[in-house]
Structure 1
Amino acid sequence: MTAATHSPSFPPVAESADEVLLGLDPEQRQVATTLRGPVCVLAGAGTGKTRAITHRIAYGVRAGILQPASVLAVTFTNRAAGEMRGRLRGLGAGGVQARTFHSAALRQLQYFWPRAVGGDMPRLVERKVQLVAEAAARCRIRLDRNELRDVTGEIEWAKVTQTVPGDYAGAAAKAHREVPRDAAEIAQIYGLYEQLKRDRMVIDFEDVLLLTVGILQDRHDIADQIRSQYQHFVVDEYQDVSPLQQRLLDLWLGDRDSLCVVGDASQTIYSFTGATPGHLLNFRNRYPQATLVKLVRDYRSTPQVVHLANGLLAQARGKAAEHRLELISQRESGPEPAYTEYPDEPAEAEGVARRIRDLIAAGVPAGEIAVLYRINAQSEVYEQALADAGVPYQLRGAERFFERQEVRRAVVTLRGAAHSGANDPLLDAVVDLASQVRAVLSSQGWTPEPPAGSGAVRDQWESLAALVRLAEDFSRAKRDATLADLVVELDERAAAQHAPTVQGVTLASLHAAKGLEWDAVFLVGLTDGMLPITYAKTDDQIEEERRLLYVGVTRARLHLTLSWALSRAPGGRGSRRPSRFLNGLRPGSAALRRSAGSADGPADGERGARKRGRRGPVQCRVCRKTLTDAGEMKLMRCEDCPSDMDEGLYERLRDWRAGQAKELGQPAFCVFTDKTLMAIAEAAPAAEGELAMISGVGGRKLERFGADVLAICAGEEPGGGSGEDA
């Protein structure tokens, strides 16, 4: 098997150290055999980085150079850690610890707490939202559900960047955070949240890292014990390390340099959580003697998909862009990416559902298809369209697999069958593990053929079918595996939340799709204002939005479709523009002419149109909430959502309006209402057509005042009022 294919969950065990190296390309082999000193692996999407680092660890163990118990491999998700453990076990390195930063730190904290602090460790609060809500209420600050979520995210960011409540406002401003409430209010809530935790003797996930760092800093004896245990470190997705995680890694390392880091600055999409690619980009400054290996052979995607991905990054700017990797596809040629424009969002969803149904009919499994969007609020129209088309789907980020009622029941039944062994009549006629699992789960509703349609019955069948497939993979990798062995494997996966794949089209946000791949990917809703998102203002924020699209493109192995809708609802004004990131890449589009100081300045005719309010809007362009207030509909956003209004322009427009109103002898709102002026100041239209798209600017007002308004927006003096009644 080459790196081009999907690795099974449980690869066959290698017979020797040299056999571990078989099938690796030259760069992957260099990673696997460079076991001394610091190593930095810059690995592009689809280049087999997990394969390279797991083979590196396994080769070191099988060659007797590394002791399994002395290696700590760290990644960022339970799923990735579970996959790494499975691969290492298959390669004969089952004793290696592969964990997330939080999991590794929690294990150490639990072990050393009685010695370092004394007594029982505080209880871990898995969901901090309730405490944040209580803290806000005690501060007499009302938060709606979205604000509560966002304020909780701000507290998490502050903690991973090691920012205390008193410093939050300044740190947030310096980092250009789009704060959901006044920064002073968030700091107040943050401070009381910390006090409530202390009063109740509880800690949160960020505290796990903070407390572990504190103990290792203060107790050199404990730090030395951990360092004697773990002598070799591997960190995956190193571009996503936060300052707090880097501090913990430094303490684990001490003065040693037996460290291998793997990452890709072009896939940095979590800066809002405190992640920074700076540690990856500066690795060789810190370790001048480090070995640098670049993985650029893309085994995942066709040349057509890779060409588009490379084209996206070719337009990027900033430090991360300077370190971009030019991928080289190793696959055979495939279809060109498809670009589709629709009149409205329901039409886009229906069109995507039809194409998905055609792909399934052509033999592409539903589980190998994904629909990816910028924000979760976009999923509803695709859920409805797929349901109407009779296509099964799953929402990524919904209920955890092992927490589903049917999965819990199935595992209990399998455990009971494993205990009863030969006395279970269900198992009398079957010998191999996979057949035993099918026999047991048939009593829970599994059948060889799926039930018709969608809904709860189909969802439950898909869950049981995923367990059957997992058993098949497990038995292929471990020929003598028993039902009891499988139950142990399921328990380990449940503890790590390492779920098998459920068969159904995946609906997921671009952020949630990181680390995954499918045969066919539909990137939807690609309009300016959605990607890049409206509230991405700074150069760095715009570039992160571009990287987010890059991540979406590189999820596709073979089929890639990019689409957008010109309006939100049927019959709406088709004033949306395709994402600026596609300019120069999609057929018929020209490359952008960038203005000085702009990360991505649109071409001349598009400057104002990319963030405009439109006639007849019904959804906030920031949070996607349905708008009913006429004033909010003019702005195309909620009153409380972030504004990109030019305050100076707004004041100049108000002064001009006052003069017009006085000259006409009418109230100011008869010229333009405040909301319309705000919409103009947010849009800064550069042409008459752009001004006409703003709600509140009708034909007569455009004729009477359009020239003046456009002059003011251009920084020029208006030519004077018309003197006619509006």
Structure 2
Amino acid sequence: MPYTKHDEDEFKRELKTAIDLVVQSNHPKKIVVAGPGAGKTSLFKTLLAKSKEANKEASHLVVTFISALADELRHDLSGLADVFTFHAHCKQLLHQNPYLREGLSEDFTLFPKLPTVIKSDWSFLHAGDQAPPHFVKLMRQAVDGIETRFFLERSNYYDAVSFDDMVFRVYLQLAVAPHAAERHELILVDEYQDFNLLEISLLDLLARKNPIVVAGDDDQVLYGALRSSNWNFIRDCYSSPDFKAFELPFCLRCPEVVVGAFDDVVRAATAAGLLNGRIPKKYRYFPPSKERDSAAHPNLQVIKTSIQKSGGGNYFGRVIAEVVRSIPLQYIKDSREDGYPTVLVIGNKQYLSQISAHLKDLGYVLDEKEGTEGEEDQITREDGLKVLKGDAGSTLGWRIMLEVDKPTFFTKAVARMLSTKPLVTIIPKAYRVSVLAEVQKFEEPAAKTKGPQPEFGKPTIKLTSFQSAKGLSAQYVFVVGLHDGDLPRNPAKIDDIEICKFLVALTRTRKQCFLLLTRRFAGVPKNPSLFLSWIDHSRKKSVYADAKYFKELEKHARPHTS
């Protein structure tokens, strides 16, 4: 039954009340529990605008955990606050404050692969140890010990930093001298659930001197293994007597069927004894924003294919291509004008690679992450040449070259060479001259630019993993590979993070959500994901796509244009 004008006014009033409770509270420490698409940015704008009204010169800081989210917030909060990732903010602090950067020069080098260099140093200088410490993991756990102090000493030696050690340096220095913390009228923290113990410990130090509002949701913790984040951090904050808790109760992004499916999954997971300790929260459909979309797209489209493989059996790719061809032009126009993808395909690599190949064969321009997993940590010759091109005497640059080449003069006198600074002073002339000749000829590769964009009026299509889907949304969302063995990996032993992955994927949807699975992948039988059975059958519309299905499509197909 359609909602009346009175109903809509009541929904808007309830949302405004939820926001006003946060804005009008004078409590110095607040936590706002906000599910996917709950309108945190609007809340942030209101909080910052109120502070600016009271003091036009007010200093505001907004921090989040990845660059893409920081860029989006920087755009949305333009002129109201300084917006950073935690790493970028700590880098700025180190440049500005000699106390915080103790042991580094003001012009220190940011070298993301520094942990790889220092692991090698440890192995050379601690011969006989089984393996070097996991320096980054230890720092993320805020461990101040022999291993992390070794890292900082080597970092000073190279006058260089990487990402997590910048945060670690600031934390250690402020823990000793909290009065050295910067002052702001307001600090806002987005995606609090994805911060690790080090970052949360630093926030606690900053909150001693500054009013703070943290926003997040324990249903969206996806980075535990990657960033050492943990559900308990946001849950502890929510239950802490030091913080006053609020919530944003509505989803302003998704149609009714998606919000209903979200509720189904949470209810089924809880009944199965999962999601223990979950923060109780409302997550409700918001008709004033989504009634029209909900009427146009009343079901989740569950598409099961008979097979999935490369080539002619690439049924996932064919299904997606057929749907993309039918997307209304207004949907495409809206997504392109507002800067979000028209289509978002979420899944594991083995499925995304095949879908990508099919769509590219049809001429579609795709936005997808390229590269090999782990290659971001590998030291290359180009890394050293690049550093030396900027500073021919750089100890870091010469150390990189020695790491790559491992000349005999280095391996026979490691301890001496790794304790001499500048390192270049004890490098044999012949090697030095040879490398500098290489540096002279070296031309740094041009910075990677954005790939080609689809023509005007064509849909933008992004392919991404479950983790990288965070912070994104699209008109049409395809969640692919929904099988037991994939998601969840083991239906008899489900990990809460797998439930969170599914919830995050569903709630990227602005208009229509498609759930794709197959009977056989590359010849191997597949069973439907248990998660699909958790969604009420009335919300799903099922289609079986086999050879007969595609033959029927071809009979009625119009000419393809990408």
Deviation at 1:202, TM superposition (A): 2.5
Would you say the 8 A contact 1:85–1:97 is kept in 2? yes
Read off the aligned partner of 2:139 and give its amino acid letter.
K
Would you say the 8 A contact 2:487–2:498 is kept in 1? yes
Tell me what 1:216 maps to: 174
Tell me what 1:107 maps to: 92
Deviation readout 1:113-134 (Å, 9 max, x if unpaired): 2686366154221234753785
1:656-671 equivalences under 5 Å are: none
Q: In structure 1, the residue corresponding to 2:77 is in which secondary structure?
A: helix
Corresponding position: 1:381 with 2:354: yes
Tell me what 1:127 maps to: 113
1:338-357 equivalences under 5 Å are: 338-345=301-308, 346-357=314-325
Q: Aligned match of 1:71 in 60, 63, 71?
A: 60
Corresponding position: 1:390 with 2:363: yes
Read off the aligned partner of 1:25 and give its amino acid letter.
K
Tell me what 1:323 maps to: 280
Q: Aligned match of 2:76 in 73, 78, 87?
A: 87
Deviation readout 1:685-706 (Å, 9 max, x if unpaired): xxxxxxxxxxxxxxxxxxxxxx
Tell me what 2:198 maps to: 244
CA 1:294–1:243 in 2, change beyond 3 Å: closer, same or farther?
A: same
66-75 or 577-586, which moves further after superposition?
66-75
Counterpart Cα distance in 2 of 1:280 and 1:514 = 17
1:138-157 equivalences under 5 Å are: 155-157=135-137
Counterpart Cα distance in 2 of 1:458 and 1:44 = 31
Deviation readout 1:573-610 (Å, 9 max, x if unpaired): 4x2111111123264999xxxxxxxxxxxxxxxxxxxx
Deviation at 1:559, TM superposition (A): 0.6
Deviation readout 1:200-253 (Å, 9 max, x if unpaired): 3432111101111122123x3xx42434x3242221111112110111112212
Aligned length: 429
29-38 or 331-340, which moves further after superposition?
29-38
1:194-593 equivalences under 5 Å are: 197=155, 199-218=157-176, 220=177, 223-227=178-182, 229-254=183-208, 256=209, 258-272=211-225, 273-287=227-241, 290-316=243-269, 317-330=274-287, 331-332=290-291, 333=294, 334-345=297-308, 346-359=314-327, 364=332, 368-396=341-369, 459-460=451-452, 462=454, 504-533=460-489, 542-569=495-522, 572-573=523-524, 575-585=525-535, 587=537
Read off the aligned partner of 2:496 and give its amino acid letter.
E
Read off the aligned partner of 2:282 and give its amino acid letter.
L
Q: In structure 2, the residue corresponding to 1:533 is in which secondary structure?
A: coil
Deviation at 1:296, TM superposition (A): 1.7
Answer 1 or 2: which has greater strand percent. Answer: 2
Read off the aligned partner of 1:356 and give its amino acid letter.
V
Q: In structure 2, the residue corresponding to 1:282 is in which secondary structure?
A: helix
- Structure 2 residue runs of 5 or longer lacking an equivalent are 1-11, 309-313, 373-447, 541-562
Corresponding position: 1:44 with 2:42: no
Read off the aligned partner of 1:340 and give its amino acid letter.
I
Would you say the 8 A contact 2:365–2:461 is kept in 1? yes
CA 1:71–1:397 in 2, change beyond 3 Å: closer, same or farther?
A: farther
Read off the aligned partner of 1:354 and give its amino acid letter.
E
Would you say the 8 A contact 1:35–1:60 is kept in 2? no
TM-score by length of 2: 0.67
1:626-637 equivalences under 5 Å are: none
Would you say the 8 A contact 2:99–2:173 is kept in 1? no
CA 1:508–1:297 in 2, change beyond 3 Å: closer, same or farther?
A: same
Q: Which has the larger radius of gyration?
A: 1
Would you say the 8 A contact 1:302–1:558 is kept in 2? yes
Tell me what 2:402 maps to: none
Pairwise CA RMSD of aligned residues? 3.9
Counterpart Cα distance in 1 of 2:65 and 2:119 = 27
Deviation at 1:79, TM superposition (A): 3.0
Counterpart Cα distance in 1 of 2:285 and 2:164 = 39
Deviation at 1:527, TM superposition (A): 1.0
Counterpart Cα distance in 1 of 2:50 and 2:449 = 46
Deviation at 1:135, TM superposition (A): 6.0
Would you say the 8 A contact 1:374–1:530 is kept in 2? no
Larger RCO, structure (CA 8 Å, separation 6 or more): 2
Counterpart Cα distance in 1 of 2:105 and 2:492 = 47
CA 1:587–1:328 in 2, change beyond 3 Å: closer, same or farther?
A: closer
Q: In structure 1, the residue corresponding to 2:472 is in which secondary structure?
A: coil
Deviation at 1:563, TM superposition (A): 0.7
Counterpart Cα distance in 2 of 1:388 and 1:586 = 37
CA 1:41–1:589 in 2, change beyond 3 Å: closer, same or farther?
A: closer
Amino-acid identity (%): 20
CA 1:385–1:136 in 2, change beyond 3 Å: closer, same or farther?
A: farther
Read off the aligned partner of 2:507 and give its amino acid letter.
T
Deviation readout 1:137-179 (Å, 9 max, x if unpaired): 86999xxxxxx9xx99x65333211347889xxxxxxxxxxxx
CA 1:224–1:129 in 2, change beyond 3 Å: closer, same or farther?
A: closer
Read off the aligned partner of 2:160 and give its amino acid letter.
V
Q: In structure 1, the residue corresponding to 2:265 is in which secondary structure?
A: helix
TM-score by length of 1: 0.53
- Structure 1 residue runs of 5 or longer lacking an equivalent are 1-20, 142-147, 168-189, 400-455, 470-501, 591-726
Deviation at 1:514, TM superposition (A): 0.5
Q: Which runs of 4+ in 1 moved over 6 A?
A: 21-24, 164-167, 190-195
Would you say the 8 A contact 2:342–2:475 is kept in 1? yes
Deviation at 1:506, TM superposition (A): 0.7
CA 1:378–1:257 in 2, change beyond 3 Å: closer, same or farther?
A: same
CA 1:198–1:381 in 2, change beyond 3 Å: closer, same or farther?
A: same
Deviation readout 1:75-95 (Å, 9 max, x if unpaired): 222332333333333xxxx25
Counterpart Cα distance in 2 of 1:204 and 1:577 = 43
CA 1:72–1:340 in 2, change beyond 3 Å: closer, same or farther?
A: same
